[in-house]
Every structure is written in C-alpha cells, then in structure tokens.
C-alpha cells in the first residue's frame, strides 16, 4: 500500500540497533523494548501550510536516516509492518 502523509507529517521506519557490551556480548533490541529514536524516512508530506497560502518546504526527503524525539511519534501499522508518524518539528537531525 502506498501512503502519502498530509501537511508536515513524515512516515518513518524505526531503526533498532543491537547494543554490544564492553566484553563483546550483543544485547538484542528486544531487551528493553524502547521506542526507536532513529529511523529511515519512507514518505514525506507536502509541507506545512503557511498563512500566506504557500507551503513551507520540507527539510527531509524519502530515504534519509533521521534522529527524532523518543516520545514524539505515533505508531501505526501498514501492511502488517509498524511505522512511525512524526511531525517534522519532532525530527532533531539528519544522519549523513
């Protein structure tokens, strides 16, 4: 299914990273079950509507990896896969 977010919303697929202890033991992401704070952008809305009637350009693009506020996104399921809906203002940085 294709999804097109509205306004300044961004759809992100969360990236979970396994944690490695100092002794080399890998702790899988299932240990703490925390929400991810990193993700890959899979869809971007057209931008926020300004008072002038124009749209503000989005600062992220599909395919970019981003860091976002942990409790900012809403979780939804699309085709059985969990994705996050984030307002552009909750995205902190782009990972290059």
pLDDT digits (tens, 9 = 90+) for 36-74: 689 999 999 999 999 999 999 999 999 999 999 888 888
Task: Supply the pTM of this predicted model.
Answer: 0.77
Report the run of H or E that residue 14 belongs to, with start and end: strand 9-15
How far is residue 96's CA from residue 64's CA, in Å, rounded to a whole number? 8
% of the chain at pLDDT higher than 70: 79
Q: Which residues contact 64 (CB under 8 A, 6 or more apart)?
A: 40, 41, 94, 95
2 located within any domain: no
Tokens of 84: 């996050």
Q: Which residues contact 91 (CB under 8 A, 6 or more apart)?
A: 10, 59, 60, 66, 67, 68
49 located within any domain: yes
3 located within any domain: no
61 located within any domain: yes
From the list 46, 74, 54, the residue with the least C-alpha distance to 90 is 74
46 located within any domain: yes
CATH code of the domain in which 43 resides: 2.30.33.40
Total number of domains in the chain = 1
Q: Which domain holds residue 23?
A: 9-95
**For the residues 75-95, what does the mean pLDDT come to?**
92
């Amino acid at each position: 299914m294709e999804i097109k977010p509205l306004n300044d919303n961004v759809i992100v697929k969360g990236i979970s990273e396994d944690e490695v202890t100092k002794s080399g033991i890998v702790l899988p992401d299932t240990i703490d079950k925390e929400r991810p704070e990193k993700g890959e952008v899979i869809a971007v809305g057209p931008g926020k509507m300004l008072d002038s009637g124009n749209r503000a350009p989005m600062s992220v693009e599909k395919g970019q990896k981003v860091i976002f506020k942990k409790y900012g996104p809403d979780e939804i399921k699309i085709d059985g896969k969990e994705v996050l809906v984030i307002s552009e203002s909750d995205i902190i940085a782009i990972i290059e």
